[in-house]
Structure 1
Amino acid sequence: MQRTHQGLKARQRAERVGYSDNLGLRVHRALSWLDRAEHEADPDSRFIFLWIAFNAAYAKTLMIGFTSTSQPASKPPRKPLTTPWPDRIHRRCLSIVSSRIYILRNQIIHAGATWNGSVNRVQIRDCVAILGDLVPRVIEVMMDNPGGLWSEAGYPVVG
């Protein structure tokens, strides 16, 4: 199966009957923005559309001080340092890359960057490449796990 909108959409159409409402809405929204991103030539715009697709997949409704299940938010217990070094290194690299993508997202979305500016072209190019690979994989993982506990999507459909 291709990790493109077209390939993932075909899979979603074949499987969506078995999706919960929450998963179905998340996948549907993420695929719509992935489709838009794949049709965009402008790197700044493509980055924004990929970010929206990513956000559509993982975002959830939040209440101040509570999770979406209305239970008090709490920190997970600290894991003992028994994780093998390669796993820890991979997680650390992923954390750094994610942080840098989020900084670029903030710069663009909060007008801290100029459209098509020369300052961050390399970063835009790299982040588009990373998100262009990551977003379809996230959608695929979601569809691989229809029985998972999918919290309510942010901004549920009203009326």
Structure 2
Amino acid sequence: MYLLEEIFKKHKHLYSANFNLRMQRGLSWLRKAKELDDDADLRFVSLWIAFNAIYVENLQDVFDEDQQHLRQFLLRLHQLDQEQRIEHCVWERCSQAIADWSNNPYVYQKLWDFQNQNIDEQSWKVHFHADQQRVQHAVAHRDTVELLLIIFDRLFTLHNQIMHGGSTCNSVLMRKHLDTASQILMTLLSRFMLVLLEHGQALDWKKPFYPVIQVC
């Protein structure tokens, strides 16, 4: 965390105003998340805000059902990551957490679609099985971006559950899911931000969806 902030302060004058605003916001929420070890709910929410600060360019990104915007974002990061920090995170440092996460039906949206009677039981199980095959294919081919897309799809389900009142604050039932999600997201975000800081000068960064303005 402190390394990221030091790099940002040292090279801030080289980046665009849009990049600096996004990174400043992202780092502030990442710092807050690190201070919330005893609050699993707010730690995860803070990490999600940090991610949105560096990712979201418009509301279509927030409701990116086909994952095209997210795919482009992750692919760009992966291509820029010459030191393969993201690769190491996915396949080494967080490999067990990611394996547990991708096999967890409770963070798979189709399960909840079934519980809410939007689809039948067979349908959600067929979809889950197909998704598990997608995970296996990504692992077999060491397809980092594809595996990240699957991870973020599950993270988005947990995000929706928390943000739309689908869990009790400090729920014992949710603690394991939140801890795993936060471990993955915090580790990934640190790598994402470091890659962005290393290549900030070369990025054509769009204005944040909520820029700093003054209404006269």
Q: TM-score range by the shorter chain?
A: 0.7 to 0.9
The residue number in structure 2 matching 1:33 is: 29
Alpha-carbon distance, 1:22 to partner: 1.1
The residue number in structure 1 matching 2:96 is: none
| Correspondences of 1:57-72 after superposition (within 5 Å) | 57-62=54-59
Where does the alignment leave 5 or more consecutive residues of structure 2 unmatched?
Answer: 61-71, 73-139
Point out which structure has higher relative CO (alpha carbons under 8 A, 6+ apart).
1
Q: 2:151 aligns with which of 97, 102, 106?
A: 97
1:158 matched to 2:213: yes
The residue number in structure 2 matching 1:110 is: 164
Alpha-carbon distance, 1:25 to partner: 0.7
Q: 1:52 aligns with which of 26, 49, 57?
A: 49
Structure 1 consecutive aligned stretches of length 4 or more whose deviation exceeds 6 Å: none
What percent identity do the matched residue pairs reach?
A: 34
CA distance in 2: counterparts of 1:91 and 1:19, whole angstroms = 26
Where does the alignment leave 5 or more consecutive residues of structure 1 unmatched?
Answer: 64-75, 77-84
TM-score by length of 1: 0.78
Alpha-carbon distance, 1:119 to partner: 2.2
The residue number in structure 1 matching 2:9 is: 13
Amino acid at match of 1:115: C
